[in-house]
Amino acid sequence: MKTLILDKKTITVNNDVDLDAFNQFGKVIVYDNLTDQEEIIQASDGVSVIVVNKVMLNDVLIARLPDSVKLIAIVATGYDNVDVSAASRKGIQVANVPGYGTNAVSQLAIFLMLSCAIQFVGQIDYMRSKGWNKMAGLELTMHELSGKTLGILGFGEIGLATAKLAQAFGMTVIAYSRSLKQVEGIKQLPLLEVAKQADFISLHSVLAPATARVINKEFLQNMKPTAYLINTARGGLVDEEALAQALNTGQIAGAALDVLSNEPPEPGNPLLKTKNTILTPHIGWAPIEARQRCVDLTVQNIINFMAGNPTNLLG
């Protein structure tokens, strides 16, 4: 069997994650980051499994893949870069890795909340520009998480893990989810009611037609002027123009975003220059333990597929 890894360098840096387990399947062709459609099609000749993290596999490309390709194994939970419907029409199965990054992403969500609450970036910038001054730091208003309300949008594993961490800080947690779940101590409310009540909004939804731009002008208008938006899920959940306007006009207090609609962002992305905004380069999944777990589970998906007992199939 022949396996093609399209984008090794989006998974491991300096070989800090072990990919040797893929060798058990036979010949492995590895590219650092192969994105050109024609080159992907050529590289797929005779390949049974394509392993991909971030490379875009759209309907046109998938339709042209050789018939030898039977499985697209995504080294991630999110799968908006792979047209699953097109793969199904082509007779190709698609598998992802749910749950591998629960600890990693939830801890980043909490860190970003803390960073907003204590004005962490501002405090560091202030100290670097003006020196050590204990009283000067008081000019940047700080808050405790305890006693605040966290609104969670998307109540899967990561949303629930974030809720539990927030409760440990003494926060009240409310949630919005398309499917009702009975979780002790957490109320599920309508979308705009969550917007009205929350001091922090943390996004944990998958990106789908029903959730695209769920954070829009109407949602932002319903948020408290003292509230913060945290996004460690997908950039497409947010109307970035509307968010930039809300931040620049003080409609909300701030935002901390690990994801954007286009990555890397285009130079004209308004969030690159907005006030009271923390941006990180999609690092929620990046702790080494999470990345190794993701690779190991991807390998297990391939093993199960070959054994006729496929796991984590999409579509």
Average of pLDDT values for 183-191?
94
Output the pLDDT for position 253: 98
Task: Give yes or no for residue 180 having a pLDDT over 80.
Answer: no
- The answer to whether residues 136 and 252 belong to one domain is yes
Helix ranges restricted to H, 25-146 = 37-43, 59-63, 84-90, 102-117, 120-130
Output the pLDDT for position 239: 98
- The answer to whether residues 176 and 65 belong to one domain is no
Structural domain contains residue 312: no
pLDDT bin (cut points 50, 70, 90) of residue 138 is confident
**If you search the block for the tokens 């208008």, which residue do you land on?**
221
Catalytic residue at 282?
A: yes
pLDDT tens for 89-102 read 999 999 999 989 99
CB-based burial of residue 225 (10 Å sphere; 0-12 exposed, 13-18 middle, 19+ buried)? exposed
- The answer to whether residues 65 and 146 belong to one domain is no
Three-class SS state of 299: helix
Average of pLDDT values for 195-208?
95
- The answer to whether residues 252 and 294 belong to one domain is no
Output the pLDDT for position 208: 87
Output the pLDDT for position 13: 87
**What whole-number distance in Å separates Cα of residue 140 and Cα of residue 218?**
29
% of the chain at pLDDT higher than 90? 87
Contact 158, 97 (CB under 8 A): no
- The answer to whether residues 193 and 219 belong to one domain is yes
Task: Give yes or no for residue 136 having a pLDDT over 80.
Answer: no
Output the pLDDT for position 303: 98
Output the pLDDT for position 313: 98
Average of pLDDT values for 58-85?
96
- What's the domain count of the chain? 2
Give the highest mean pLDDT range of 175-179, 207-211, 301-305.
Answer: 301-305
- The answer to whether residues 111 and 260 belong to one domain is yes
Please count the other Cβ atoms lying within 10 Å of the Cβ belonging to residue 209: 5
Q: Which one of 39, 139, 218, 263 is the catalytic residue?
A: 263
Q: 127 or 112: which carries more pLDDT confidence?
A: 112
Average of pLDDT values for 145-171?
97
What's the order of all strands across the beta sheet hosting 93-95?
Answer: 27-30, 2-5, 49-52, 71-74, 93-95
- The answer to whether residues 138 and 259 belong to one domain is yes
- The answer to whether residues 171 and 270 belong to one domain is yes
Three-class SS state of 160: helix
- The answer to whether residues 106 and 130 belong to one domain is yes
**What whole-number distance in Å separates Cα of residue 1 and Cα of residue 40?**
18
Structural domain contains residue 128: yes
**5-31: b or e for each residue (b if 16 or more CB lie within 10 Å)?**
bbbbebbbeeeebebeebeebeebbeb
pLDDT bin (cut points 50, 70, 90) of residue 50 is very high
Average of pLDDT values for 76-93?
95
**What whole-number distance in Å separates Cα of residue 185 and Cα of residue 203?**
19
Q: What is the 8-class DSSP label of residue 77?
A: S
Phi, psi (5° rounding) for residue 202? -120, 125
Task: Give yes or no for residue 207 having a pLDDT over 90.
Answer: no
Q: Which one of 234, 240, 291, 293 is the catalytic residue?
A: 234
Q: Where are the beta strands (DSSP E) in the chain?
A: 2-5, 27-30, 49-52, 71-74, 93-95, 149-153, 172-176, 187-188, 200-203, 228-231, 254-257, 277-279
Output the pLDDT for position 206: 86
Q: Which one of 204, 240, 282, 293 is the catalytic residue?
A: 282
Output the pLDDT for position 298: 98
Structural domain contains residue 313: no
Helix ranges restricted to H, 198-309 = 217-222, 240-248, 288-306
Structural domain contains residue 78: yes
Task: Give yes or no for residue 135 having a pLDDT over 80.
Answer: no
Residue 157 domain boundaries: 102-279
Classify residue 263 as left (phi > 0), alpha (psi -120 to 50) or beta.
Answer: beta
Rounded (to 5) percent helix, strand, coil in the chain: 35, 15, 45
**If you search the block for the tokens 């060798």, which residue do you land on?**
23
Please, what is the average pLDDT of the chain? 95
CATH number where 254 lies = 3.40.50.720
**What whole-number distance in Å separates Cα of residue 181 and Cα of residue 184?**
10
pLDDT bin (cut points 50, 70, 90) of residue 19 is very high
Output the pLDDT for position 178: 84
Task: Give yes or no for residue 128 having a pLDDT over 90.
Answer: no
Phi, psi (5° rounding) for residue 89? -65, -30
> What are the contacts of 16-21 at 24+ separation with CB within 8 A?
16/288, 16/291, 17/288, 17/291, 17/292, 17/295, 18/292, 18/295, 19/295, 21/295, 21/296, 21/299
- The answer to whether residues 146 and 238 belong to one domain is yes
The identity of residue 311, as a single letter, is: T
Task: Give yes or no for residue 265 having a pLDDT over 90.
Answer: yes
Catalytic residue at 234?
A: yes
Q: 59 or 135: which carries more pLDDT confidence?
A: 59
Q: 253 or 77: which carries more pLDDT confidence?
A: 253
